[in-house]
Every structure is written in structure tokens, then in C-alpha cells.
Structure 1
């Protein structure tokens, strides 16, 4: 019986480890011309199938032998990183174990930063799903990360004069992976540090991949600078039909501000939405809630002329108010620094006014619940012939202004050319090229229902609009997948501990 075995490196069921099987030939430790053996058969079963590739053996072997000196130095650095990663993973495992046992507080932010998700809790969340587009990003990122991992093992072995027997791409149950096969007896004959260079090569390549992806993400705005503007405002890429903003925003629109606060990137968009939601919840608990009419009036108002209010006044009938569908109910609020609950004001919602929200938003803002008032210390004072009125909503329904423009629409491009030629005052905001609309509802769902990007093309063309977003997501996904792969292959398994012991003993 043939006693020679094969050494493989790669991912198997979620983590890298070494497997053995009968070899097809015994490769020499040093050879100038690689020995060509028959292609190994592929494996197909119910839970496992693979495809073995041996056509790259000669090419990778010649490349490794030609640059052997440089590669040995390169992968020697990888040994240091591999040992450091082993210690880091051990500390992470101990920390997570202590968190599960409630001995130490957990750090979900750290998990999200490293893995892109919380590895111990994300899969327990009900309804967790991934979109088809997200699945494509994960698949491409996995392919790139695994290829670099196995390429590192093959080059490290070739630099030591060992030719791989084949590369196997496999699917175990539903988990894809890859492995590279070497002659086990030849690896056993190598010195300990030389063997560590081969073992740590894949981890080292994944770490370098993470560094390259992170550096590319950092420089992406500079790389795309000739073709895209970055960080000036948010551009809408997609508005699903199920989005609350469907019908208000379209792909190509640019979001300028939220409640009067300029928005420059997607992080600020979500942060502002969260802040507005938090302030609205505080307002419900502290003031402005009328139990009988089940309505909320915040300190987010507009200075409206009294003459307009006199024409729109209605009285409560049986503690109920009603406005036509195209109008919104408003109530006068005290324009002072006192709380609305003072003097029992929160229990008095009369008189109520029915006004068109599109007309009201054109007036100057008043009240202390606007984000601009909180950040800039704005005043609530209106002029003597005006009153500060606030919209009335049901609890949980939040009133928020979204200012946008449509600079890439055909109408706006034609209008822009006309304004430039006439050199007159701009009517851009008063046309269909942009404006302000009011959203009333769940603001968190609203903010997360649209796909946005901080990149805007410098030319009015739909070509390449999605390119920065694709590159950004692909680089970010590759970073997380490659980092996860490196950490999983750094787990303190038995063979790793054996090699460390052998290296420490100087054998």
C-alpha cells in the first residue's frame, strides 16, 4: 500500500486545517523541471464536490523558483504576522467566551469593525437575509480572498523547491472553499521555520489584501476625483417601490439637507435621522401630547402671518379636529424659551389651523426642536404680525423636511443653460429641478429605504453612476472576508501548536 500522503492548505467547513490522503507521486525536494503527473480525479457526492486544477502547477513552480530569495524574505515577514495573529485570535476567543459567560462586557462594535458583523449574534437575528446584489459581492470577495490565500501557499512552497500537486475548488454542504495539495512527507522533512513560512503564507496574503483594500478605500475619493465629486451632498441611486420616499425622490436626485442641516455622506444621513427620531420621542414624553385628541404638537414650527391664520382657523368639535386630505392641521405654540407643558399649554390645542404644508415650509422656521436651532442657538421669536405654528401628528409620526435637487434631469439641464445665457436671477429652486417636501412617518425606515452615495458624476450622464458605489462595497466586503479568513486560519489548532513547539525547541 502506498504510504505517501498529501498536505493540503485551505478552508474546510469554515476554518483552515490540514488533511491527508494518498498521493499520486512523490515529488523531489529540489528540482529544476517539474514532474508532470496525471490530473487527479474530481470528487462528487451528496454533501461535497470539488474540481481539481493541475494546469497551473508548472507556472507557479517556475515563478516561485525564479524569485525564491525575495519570496523567502517576504514570507518570513508573514511568519511574524502569523504568530501575532495567533495570539490576537486567542485573546478574541477568550474575550468572547467571557462575554458569553457574562464575565466581561461584550464589544459588538469591535466585532462589526473586524468581521463586518457580530459573529456570535448576527445569525440569531430573526429575518436575517441578504439581497441578491449582496450575495454577488460576498461571492466575488470570497473568490478573491481564497485565491490570494491559496496562491500564497503555492508560492511559498515553490520558493522552497516544493511543487504543489493540484488546487481544489470545493463546496462542502453550502460553504465554498479551496485547498492546495502538497506531498506530506516532503513537508515533514523541512526545517521548522521553513515549514512555518509555507503554513503562514495564506494568512499573510490575506492580511496584505486587507491592507490594500483599506488603503484603496481611503484613496478612492482621490482616485475618482477627475470623474466624480465626493462629499458635497448625497445622490440617490435607487428608490424601491416599497420605500416611503417612492414618488418623492428618483435616481439621480441630490439630497441637500435634512431639517435644514446639510448632509454630505451616508453616515450623516443616518445620524441625523436617528437624532431627529430621538428628539421626537423626547418631545412625546416631555410635552405636547394631548390625551383626549391623541395628538402631538412639538416645538418645531413656522412663522406664519396672522392674516393667513385667521382664514384657516377651525374649532375643535367634541375634542376632535378634522382637515381636508390635502391640508395639514397646525396649532399655535408659545414662541418663548419655556416648555410647552407650562401653564397647561399642552392640554390646549385650539384654535387649530388647516394649511397646505407646501406653502407653510416656505416661511421662516421657529421653535426649539429644529436641528438648526439646537446647533446654531436659533431664536423662536417671530415678528409681531406673525405667529409660530406647529404641525399636529399622531404619536410615532415624525415631521421632517427633506430638501433636494434634480441637477441631472433634462429639464434642469435646459433651465441651467437658459439661466446662464440670460444671466438673470436663478429660479432653480422654484422649478421642478428641486425643492423641499415634508415626510411624516417612521423616519428610521425612511432613511434606510433608499440607496445613496456620496459620489456625484461631474458630467450629466448615467454612465458610471453606480461605479463608485460598486467599488466601495466590493473593497469593503473583500476587506471583511479576507480579514475573517485570516483570523479563522489563525485559530490555535493542533498542528499549529505542534509547529510552534517544534520551532521553539529548535528542531
Structure 2
């Protein structure tokens, strides 16, 4: 239902924009002004697409192309070798994926996975996804533009577009100039985009490994975790619950120094029996508010509620003593009880000249009483399934030294780098495939002209080889996309 609402909202917005554009173009009182506005700004609207086109960046491309010409020549030559190797590896990889699917071999990791908001992309990460696509697209097209000017090919203009919800960029090159330069110079231009995408992947990996060092002056690590988000209307939200920026150092008596420790502690709290607290037997009798001190323990019930839900501050605990080996139940104040030392067995509780007992929460097997230490605030007592606590908060290993330092910055850097690596890498795999309308089509054409012109002088034969190669690449990519969509929605 949510996916349908998103689709309806997106189509409704695009339909409204398209109708508004058509209305302003056809009305006598607005047509001339509106068309003048579009010409000056470079904006244009079509079916499910919004574009911006400008020549204002041409001077920038020219300056960049004139910077260290020998270096740029070597730089884009490396891009040619990378593009050709990447094309071969991409075709082999996608062919292997089709072969494994047809032979029903297990495919653990799908190479191409369509990312669709509301299906496999959380709404909270749509901004990361769109920003990453825009950055990768701009740098990709910048590579084409700089390489084109470096090879004396005119750049007519640069543009951005939004198709449905997918942003992108494009560069308008002079086709006449492209056709008269040598195949090697063409390849430097065609391969520049995917070469820059590969560099983005390397930069993303480098930043992903290096950013913890850059954050050391602003964040502390290894002493706990910090809460970056708390889900609303949950057991841990509210004025007395957990809050953003709270540092968590312990949960259920288990020390927490990292998010990994947090997950481990919650996992162990699910697997292991509930821990107890050491109390003197005399104190238990004083604090007990249950009307029935000793309950029938012969009943095979999972747990006994001796408080009868009369107080939100008390909880039923069970214990035994030397005189009474069977379980005894007492309604005790939960906070005062859990402030006492933690115990797992009766033998863990000892005090000279005083009879001690380990009292355990009387709860069912799925429910746990967890004491969460979060900063200087009173500990949070969580009563429920540990998974509910796990899904109620988002944590980070980086605790800011000051309230002025963003608590979400490490998460934003980490998430953005991972999107850069995955999406820019995917653009490399897609664009180098010899498929119609992709860079791989022109890379394949340039490679054939470069290598076969001397051995196969007949241009019609070379064109036939090129057409067959592009047809094969198009079918191969289409099959992988179909398989990926099938795995997403059906498999």
C-alpha cells in the first residue's frame, strides 16, 4: 500500500508539472514570457523529466583541460586501458551471472540490484541515494568534457536532469569533431567517464578507511556508544527514556564500548537466563508489597505476577533462601532492586553476618528486564523483548566531545562513502558494456576501429562486427536487468 502511494504521488507531481508547462506555453498572456524565461534559464520540461542546460561551464572545462596537458594526456590514456579491461571483465561477469541463473546455480550476491524507494531503499536514505547519483553523474560527465577539450573536440554545453526521482548529468559534444579525430583520441573521451567513476570508488574506499582518524579530535571512541536516533512511540522514548546524544555504557550488566558490543549484549540477553540482583533477605521482606508472600510453586506456569499490576514502579521477583529452598515471590521496587549488585547464581551473593539472596525478575522466557546506563541520567529499566530495544534506537561508536559537534556526522560520512562505492562501481559495470546508448557502445566502436582498421580494411565488415558486439552486449545487459528485477520482486 505504501509503495502504491509513493508511485501515485510521484506520477501525480510529474503530471501536474507537465500540464502546468503545457498550459503556460499555450496561453496567449503567458506563452511569450514563459518561453523567454525557459530560454534564459535553460530549463525544459518533458514527460517525467526536468532538464537544465547551460553553456556557463564551458570556460571552466577549458581551464581544467589546459591544466598540465602532459599529465592529462597520460591520465586519460590510463583511462583507456582501464575502460577496455573493465569492458572485458564486465562482459565476463554478466555472462557468468546469466549462465549461473540458466543452470540454476546458487547466486549468493546479485551483481545488479535495482534500487527503488519504498522497495529496497529506506525512506531515510533517499537523500543519500539521490546526492550520490548526482555527484557520480556530474564527475562522470566532467571527465568526458575535459577529455573532449583536451582532444580539440568542442563542448556545446552541460546539463542536469531529473527523470522521475533519478537525477543525472549530461554533456553535449560536437559530433562532427568526434568523427574526424583518431580512434585513440576518441577512446580517451569515451573512457573518461567510467575512468572517473573508478577513481570515485577508490576515493570512497580511502575516505571510508581514513575518516575515523580525521574525526579523532572531535569524537571519542572505545568508551561507549551514543544514541543518534530514537523511534517515536516506543518503550524507550519519552521524557524519562533514551534521548539523542545519550552515551550508553552498559545494558543488562554487560559493558558496551561499541555498537558491536551492544549487539552482542542484546544477543546474549536473549539466549541467557535473566540476571538477578543481590539483596539481604531481611530487606526483601521489608520492601515486599505483595499481599501473598508465598505462592504455590507447584503450578507449571511460565511466570507468576505477584504485584497484580497495582504499581508501575514495582515488579515481581523470585528467590529462595536456605530455609525455603522452593521459589518465593516478592513484589519489590524495580529501581531500588536493580541498583543492587548483579548476580547470576545464588553463590554470587555473600555478605558477612547477613543472609543474602539472588532475586530474579519473574517474567516469561521472551521478556527481559534490562538496565541501560546512559550518561549521568538515572538508568533506564527496559522490560520487554531485547529485539524491541534493538529496533528502537540507532547508535554510533563516535561520541562527540561537544554539543556543537553533529552527532550524525560519522554516520553520514560512512553512509555516503558506501553509496559512492556501490553506485559509482555499478555505473562502471553498466557503462562499459557494449550496449546501445551507453558509453560501452562508443568504446567498443573506437576499439574496433583502433585494432581492426589495418587488418580488416573493409568498413562494412568492421561495422558488422561492431553491430554484433553491441547486440550481444544489449541482450546480455537486458537479461541481467530482468533477472535482477525478478530477484527483487519475486525471488
TM-score (norm 1): 0.67
Give the 3-state SS of the residue equivalent to 2:70 in structure 1.
helix
Deviations 1:432-454 (A, max 9, x none): x2343331223223223223332
CA contact (8 A) 2:80 2:187 kept: yes
Aligned to 1:253: 246
CA contact (8 A) 2:227 2:246 kept: yes
Once the two structures are TM-superposed, the CA of residue 256 in structure 1 deviates from its matched residue by: 0.6
Match of 2:428 among 469, 486, 494: 486
Aligned to 1:266: 259
Once the two structures are TM-superposed, the CA of residue 271 in structure 1 deviates from its matched residue by: 4.3
Aligned to 2:471: none
Match of 1:439 among 360, 371, 382: 382
The count of corresponding residues between Structure 1 and Structure 2 is 392
Give yes or no for the alignment of 1:454 onto 2:401: no
Gaps of at least 5 residues in structure 2 are 1-38, 455-491
Structure-2 change in CA distance of 1:218 and 1:299 (3 Å): same
Structure-2 change in CA distance of 1:303 and 1:266 (3 Å): same
Q: Kindly report the root-mean-square deviation, in angstroms, between the aligned alpha carbons of the 2 structures.
A: 3.5
Match of 1:396 among 366, 374, 381: 366
CA contact (8 A) 1:39 1:54 kept: no
Gaps of at least 5 residues in structure 1 are 1-37, 112-117, 281-297, 336-347, 369-378, 406-432
Once the two structures are TM-superposed, the CA of residue 177 in structure 1 deviates from its matched residue by: 1.6
Once the two structures are TM-superposed, the CA of residue 42 in structure 1 deviates from its matched residue by: 5.5
Which structure is higher in RCO with an 8 Å CA cutoff and minimum separation 6? Answer: 1
Structure-2 change in CA distance of 1:487 and 1:262 (3 Å): farther
Once the two structures are TM-superposed, the CA of residue 395 in structure 1 deviates from its matched residue by: 4.4
Q: Which moved more, 1:441-450 or 1:495-504?
A: 495-504
Aligned to 1:84: 85
Aligned to 2:464: none
Once the two structures are TM-superposed, the CA of residue 155 in structure 1 deviates from its matched residue by: 0.9
CA contact (8 A) 1:331 1:349 kept: no
Q: Which moved more, 1:151-160 or 1:253-262?
A: 253-262
Give yes or no for the alignment of 1:322 onto 2:306: yes
Q: Which moved more, 1:240-249 or 1:149-158?
A: 240-249
Aligned mates of 1:102, 1:360 — CA distance in 2: 62
CA contact (8 A) 2:218 2:405 kept: no
Q: How does 1:98-497 map to 2 (within 5 A)?
A: 100=101, 103-108=104-109, 119=113, 130-131=122-123, 134-247=125-238, 248-277=241-270, 279=271, 298=273, 300-311=275-286, 312=288, 313-316=293-296, 321-323=305-307, 324-325=310-311, 326-332=313-319, 350-367=327-344, 381-383=348-350, 385-405=355-375, 433-459=376-402, 461-493=403-435, 495=441, 496-497=443-444
Structure-2 change in CA distance of 1:49 and 1:251 (3 Å): closer
Aligned mates of 1:59, 1:394 — CA distance in 2: 68
Structure-2 change in CA distance of 1:105 and 1:160 (3 Å): same
Once the two structures are TM-superposed, the CA of residue 60 in structure 1 deviates from its matched residue by: 0.9
Q: How does 1:67-82 map to 2 (within 5 A)?
A: 67-82=68-83
Aligned mates of 1:443, 1:205 — CA distance in 2: 45
Once the two structures are TM-superposed, the CA of residue 98 in structure 1 deviates from its matched residue by: 5.3
CA contact (8 A) 1:270 1:448 kept: no
Structure-2 change in CA distance of 1:104 and 1:383 (3 Å): farther
Aligned to 1:371: none
TM-score (norm 2): 0.69
CA contact (8 A) 1:153 1:180 kept: yes
